[in-house]
Chains A and B, each alone.
Chain A
């Protein structure tokens, strides 16, 4: 009985990401892996500088608030769950719910940016700018580049919310929905690496 119901629902379902298919499309992944190469290189350069200036990095990292660093991670994790749920509802034919979840993820992004602005304001106000020392240079570089990606992701989420609200997406809209979701998850997991590197490890 359960199987029969599942098959009936499945027949009514819109097109979706199928097992064995690339989420989004190949171009999305070329972009994502290109980004990952750049970030991985920067993480390596950061650790290289750290090995030469261990005491400077340890001293300056003390200025950063580790609790805030963890909070950022949780906010982005929550946003990622919202994006997963959004795609789930989209595939269940509920564009209205999908749109709401995309907007909720967008809200998480806004909270992240607001906290980041507060943190930057605090650091700059205390005289710790880009030129304070190499740790602060990396801090502004890595968090700035991440915030730039986050802002791009927020624009994407806004577009996805509109696409979801319209409903009945075609093939290109599905590529946009899945590709956009993957981009947002990348923004989330890049922070998962930046958090221990800047806030915990030095």
Chain B
């Protein structure tokens, strides 16, 4: 059941695309964070967005870099549930503070 060499090359190309998207997401987060204005300590929806972007990045690192997208379903599910649960919990704690 091992991947063929050509499949592996395709997988590497997909990973390169994901990596570029992760770099772009990092740049977008940085710009959103740096240019954000407002009263310090107040709740800003854009900050919840930054947490969602972060957890989305984490999900893609897990799926592609850690190869979880080819892993057994239970392991995948635990990771997916953790990313969604942690994202929801952190956003809720931030927004409902």
Contact = CB atoms under 8 A, between A and B. Distances in A.
Contacts of B90: 43-44, 47, 193, 197
A83 to B, nearest CB: 8
Contacts of A186: 66
Interface residues of B, number: 51
Given A54-B41, A77-B19, A200-B50, A22 B71 contact: yes
Describe A's contact surface by its main secondary structure.
helix
Given A77-B19, A196-B50, A23 B97 contact: no
Contacts of B6: 2-3, 6
B26 A50 contact: no
A126 interface: no
Contacts of A57: 41
Contacts of A9: 4-5
B82 A33 contact: yes
A92 B71 CA distance: 20
A40 B4 CA distance: 37
B31 to A, nearest CB: 9
Interface string A2-35: 1101110110010111111111000001000100
Describe B's contact surface by its main secondary structure.
helix
Nearest to B92: A47
B64 to A, nearest CB: 8
Nearest to B58: A189
B3 A16 contact: yes
B35 to A, nearest CB: 10
A115 interface: no
B67 A17 contact: yes
A70 B70 contact: no
Interface residues of A, number: 64
Contacts of B32: 200
B12 to A, nearest CB: 6
B50 A201 contact: yes
Contact of B71 (A2, A21, A50, A69): A21
Contacts of A200: 29-30, 32-34, 36, 47, 50
12 contacts: A10-B2, A51-B97, A59-B40, A92-B8, A185-B66, A189-B61, A192-B26, A192-B57, A199-B33, A200-B29, A200-B36, A200-B50
Interface of B: 1-8, 12, 15-16, 19, 22-23, 26-27, 29-30, 32-34, 36, 40-42, 47, 50-51, 53-55, 57-58, 61-62, 65-68, 70-72, 75, 78, 82, 86, 89-90, 93-94, 97
Given A70-B30, A200-B34, 12 more contacts: A6-B6, A6-B7, A23-B68, A33-B78, A43-B86, A70-B29, A73-B26, A80-B61, A181-B66, A189-B61, A196-B54, A200-B30
